[in-house]
Amino acid sequence: MGNSSSLLTQYDLEDLQNHCSNLYSQREIIALYERFCQLDRTSKGFISADEFMGVPEFAVNPLCQRLLKMLEGLNFKEFIALLSAFSARATKDDKLKFIFRVYDTDGNGKVTSSDMLQVLRDLSGNFLTDEQRQSVLNQALEQAGYTVDSALTLLDFKQVLGKADLKMDVEVPVD
């Protein structure tokens, strides 16, 4: 173990495993902690927006601004809980809850059609017109039994995306 991992005690590792619903092994938690310490360039115990933007894969993500709102100022315990949705052991339900949080930008527990359109705008850039995005959204909602005026709760959101094949697994490299 490197210097940063030696700061985690066995108790810390067990507590962190419980906190992330055992979706990461202790070795994966140590690897994530070392990465967290690398990102926390100021050693303040949390990661700032600027530090997150220093990760090239994150900076080029079309949803990076939405994700920054969720990630800004996270300590390690919050960081690992958030990342647990990307574990290969995470359930589809875990992944859908994370996606819902990305869409629910104001944190009111509902996703509106304007929230969904903004995500589509972020994802599609100039490849789709506003009319095409609206058409895609209308079709998806209609197929799930909703209208553009619907504000989706987490349960509704799961119904709309429940059949989607979610590829969100990120492997944590361990030494």
In tens, the pLDDT along 118-148 reads 888 888 888 889 999 999 888 888 887 888 8
> What domains sit in the chain, N to C, each tagged with a CATH number?
9-90 (1.10.238.10), 91-168 (1.10.238.10)
- The residue among 104, 108, 96 whose CA lies nearest residue 161 is 96
- What is the value of pTM for the model shown? 0.77
Mean pLDDT of 100-107: 84
Report yes or no: 109 and 154 within 8 Å, Cβ to Cβ: yes
First to last CA, the chain: 9
Which one-letter amino acid corresponds to residue 72?
Answer: E
CA gap 107, 45 in Å, rounded: 25
Q: For residue 56, count other CB atoms closer than 10 A to its CB.
A: 8
